[in-house]
């Protein structure tokens, strides 16, 4: 253990002292802040009011197109040629022409004239405004009252409650899904990012023949375990620093520049619901206040649902599957590095190892979220190669204790088994040079006596 600890120290200190580690640790939070500030700044400099001139020969839309906060209408009279001449002398956005032959039952023939190509946003907003007024005209023609029809529309918001021996608790499918997917995504990228570092580190030491000196003092298994644990410590250090620095930098950016954080999924749902009800958000103060009230209500419900989640269990499972998944795959990445002489030769061995990770990541977003208690979710959360990601998605939804314990036990056994395989390959391959390795050769290494 003393030798393994020395190797862990060496791997850790060597990497955290590198300029690349320091730069990436400091640069990532700054990039996150830039992603917040730059889009908000671009919106402010590009957000200008548009003015559209309207030549309505039918009179159906006279005083019907209401000015909005960033879109104003200027009515014109006379012929189309005169309107074009007047428009060209201004810096207005466009000229909207509604011909005399226009029929609300067959709304064709409307033309937008502009000095440049009409933007998609302008065209869509004008189409929406005309469509809304045409619908009003049709309601009037049919003798129906639009306001009565709007009152007949129903808006139902279901309250989800989970029942257990501990009592009843509010839950929210969006909050539960986010809690599970967030942990799964972190584990997925951590395994890939730092697992590849293990492989590259082994290849580098093998190529530079440093390994020949080290192997005279320690056993191959001690060297492999020290490297895996040391790089894991580097990853955890960088991950924690990213969290702390990101909170500090993002908080400072929000206070200095007054940048609002991006809308949460709950706020996006509230905004989408208002849009489905036909409300023109962002243009009417009353509607905007209603939207903010709806979003605030959903955020409050989401926070309540989040507090009702088993936070302690989720954190414990995250740490376990975080480390278990990394150790399982890290040993395999280390074995690949020991078996080859350069990164080019790693592709044939990387593909079979990464397939379970990719499949579990894709299935988490498709089948597992739709049916977290289904047979696919169950088996993928039990198999060690896929359980670190899939089980993290299932835990916030509630997993029976026996399934969770079985999954953890199998993950530990899977780590022991893959470590044994990796150690058998590592002890032979670490001193093997200049030979192209295939799967048949690797299978022989498992039974070599060294």
pLDDT of 219: 77
- Set out the domains of the chain in order of their start, with CATH numbers: 50-142 (3.40.190.10), 173-445 (no CATH)
Identify which of 441, 215, 233, 415 has the alpha carbon closest to the alpha carbon of residue 331: 415
Q: Which segments in the chain show pLDDT lower than 70?
A: 36, 39-48, 146, 149, 154-173, 209, 211-213, 215-216, 253-254, 256-308, 433-435, 449-450
Residue 355 Cα distances to 72, 283, 366, angstroms: 55, 49, 17
pLDDT in the model for residue 275? 47
Crossing angle (nearest 10°) for helices 2-16 and 19-46: 40
* Residue 301: predicted pLDDT: 58
What is the pLDDT, as a whole number, of residue 27?
Answer: 86
Residue 264 · residue 299 · CB < 8 Å: yes
Angle at 329 (CA atoms; ends 192, 356), nearest 5 degrees: 75
Distance CA 331, CA 300 (A): 44
Strands 94-98 and 111-113: antiparallel
**What pLDDT score was predicted for residue 282?**
45
CA separation for the pair 339, 195 (Å, rounded): 15
Q: Please report the pLDDT score of residue 280 as a whole number.
A: 45
Angle in degrees, CA 236, 237, 241, rounded to 5 = 115
pLDDT for residue 160: 60
| Neighbouring C-alpha atoms within 13 Å toward the C-beta of 319 | 7
User: Taking the CB of residue 231, how many other CB atoms lie within 10 A of it?
Assistant: 23
**Which residues, other chains included, contact 288 with Cβ-Cβ below 8 Å and sequence gap of 6+?**
281, 282
**CB-CB neighbours of 164 under 10 Å:** 8
> Do 42 and 259 meet the contact criterion of CB atoms below 8 Å apart?
no
List, in order, residues 6 or more apart from 220 with CB less than 8 Å away: 423, 426, 427, 430
- Mark out the alpha helices in 258-310 (DSSP H runs): 265-276, 285-307
Mapped onto helix, strand or coil, the DSSP state of residue 170 is strand
CB burial of residue 334 (10 Å; 0-12, 13-18, 19+): buried
3-state secondary structure of 106: strand
pLDDT for position 266: 47
In angstroms, rounded to a whole number, what is the distance separating the alpha carbons of residues 88 and 94?
10
Q: Which residues contact 359 (CB under 8 A, 6 or more apart)?
A: 386
379-424 pLDDT, tens per residue? Answer: 999 999 999 999 988 888 888 889 999 999 999 999 888 888 888 8
pLDDT tens across 26-62, in order? 888 888 777 767 766 666 665 567 888 888 888 888 7
Residue 78: beta bridge partners? none
> 434: helix, coil or strand?
coil
pLDDT value, residue 441: 78
d(CA 167, CA 133): 52
């Amino acid at each position: 253990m003393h030798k393994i600890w020395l190797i862990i120290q060496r791997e850790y200190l060597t990497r955290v002292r590198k300029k690349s580690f320091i730069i990436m640790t400091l640069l990532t939070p700054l990039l996150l802040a830039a992603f917040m500030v730059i889009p908000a700044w671009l919106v402010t400099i590009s957000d200008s009011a548009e003015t559209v001139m309207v030549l309505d020969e039918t009179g159906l839309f006279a005083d019907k197109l209401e000015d909005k906060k960033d879109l104003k209408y200027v009515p014109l009279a006379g012929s189309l040629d005169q309107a074009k001449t007047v428009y060209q002398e201004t810096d207005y956005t466009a000229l909207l022409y509604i011909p005399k032959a226009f029929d609300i039952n067959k709304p064709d023939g409307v033309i937008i004239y502009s000095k440049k190509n009409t933007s998609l946003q302008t065209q869509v907003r004008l189409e929406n405004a005309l469509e809304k007024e045409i619908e009003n005209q049709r309601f009037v023609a049919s003798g129906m009252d639009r306001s009565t029809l709007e009152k007949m529309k129903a808006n139902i918001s279901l309250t989800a409650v989970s029942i257990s021996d501990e009592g009843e608790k509010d839950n929210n499918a969006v909050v539960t899904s986010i809690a599970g997917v967030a942990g799964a995504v972190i584990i997925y990228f951590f395994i890939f990012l730092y697992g590849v570092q293990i492989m590259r580190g082994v290849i580098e030491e093998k190529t530079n023949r440093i390994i020949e000196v080290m192997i005279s003092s320690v056993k191959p298994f001690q060297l492999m375990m020290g490297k895996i644990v040391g790089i894991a410590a580097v990853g955890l250090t960088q991950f924690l620093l990213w969290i702390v620095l990101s909170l500090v930098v993002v908080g400072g950016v929000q206070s200095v520049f007054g940048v609002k954080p991006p809308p949460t999924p709950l706020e996006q749902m509230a905004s989408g619901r208002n849009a489905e009800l036909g409300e023109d958000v962002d243009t009417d103060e009353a509607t905007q206040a209603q939207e903010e009230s709806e979003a605030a209500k959903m955020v409050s419900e989401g926070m309540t649902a989040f507090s009702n989640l088993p936070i302690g269990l989720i954190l414990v499972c995250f740490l376990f599957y975080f480390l278990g998944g990394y150790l399982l795959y890290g040993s395999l990445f280390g074995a690949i590095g020991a078996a080859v002489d350069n990164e080019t030769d790693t592709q044939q061995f990387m593909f079979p190892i990464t397939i379970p990770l990719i499949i579990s990541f894709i299935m988490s977003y498709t089948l597992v979220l739709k049916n977290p208690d289904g047979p696919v979710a169950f088996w993928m959360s039990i198999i060690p190669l896929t359980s670190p990601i899939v089980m993290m998605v299932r835990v916030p939804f509630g997993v029976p204790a026996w399934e969770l314990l079985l999954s953890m036990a199998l993950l530990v056994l899977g780590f022991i088994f893959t470590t044994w395989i990796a150690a058998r390959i590592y002890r032979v391959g670490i001193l093997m040079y200049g030979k192209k390795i295939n799967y048949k050769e690797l299978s022989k290494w498992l039974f070599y006596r060294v």
